Amino acid sequence: MPFDAAAGRQRLISIIKERSFQTGPEMKLASGKTSTFYFNMKPTMLHAEGANLIANLILDRIADLNVDLVGGLEMGAVPIASAVAAVSHERGKAIDAFFVRKQAKEHGTRSLVEGLPKGATMAGRSLVIVEDVTTTGGSALKAAVALREEGATILRVVTIVDREEGAADAFASAAINFQPILTLKDFS
């Protein structure tokens, strides 16, 4: 049975409202801004059904692309990329995952990018960056800069929730296609 994106999207909204969306006193966001509403996506991304829905919805959003790898900046992108990789295999078009460290390890391989097999590089690879929540786009842009420096091509950034606070403009300025699965309007 093919994935029903419209039904999946509605179910994901319900799971996020139940597990990950909260309102209350002002909280500081990763972007540095403050807000009275917050998305803590880990409880949804690590939920069996939530992870499956996220992966299927992202795969639908990137079906038009010839993608080598999917990933993004640690920590938010790790469970998303892992779920996308697993579900992509089930769909018959495997896309492996990677993640970008916030800073290179000081031991072992000292890698900034993790997930590639021994001897492989990002040079010439076509990537999709995934993110849990996007405010200004700073985290995904940081990953994009590091990946471009390693020779990769960024095909698209896909976020689960766009807070609609400047990310679309930031990605447009960086010549990166940006597609949210959901936006703040879905939670009003």
pLDDT digits (tens, 9 = 90+) for 59-85: 999 999 999 999 999 888 999 999 999
Fill in the amino acid letter for 155: L
- Whole-angstrom Cα distance, residue 121 to residue 130? 19
Q: Is the pTM of this model over 0.75?
A: yes
User: 5-187 has which fold?
Assistant: Rossmann fold (3.40.50)
Q: Is the pLDDT of residue 90 over 90?
A: yes
- Tokens standing for residue 89: 């295999």
Mean pLDDT of 134-161: 94
List the beta strands (DSSP E) in the chain.
21-28, 34-39, 69-73, 96-100, 113-114, 126-134, 153-162, 178-183
Q: How confident is the model at residue 35 (pLDDT cuts 50, 70, 90)?
A: confident
Q: How confident is the model at residue 172 (pLDDT cuts 50, 70, 90)?
A: very high
The pLDDT, as a whole number, for residue 103 is 67
Q: How confident is the model at residue 111 (pLDDT cuts 50, 70, 90)?
A: confident
**Local structure of 29: helix, strand or coil:** coil
The total of other beta-carbon atoms located within 10 Å of residue 166's CB is: 16
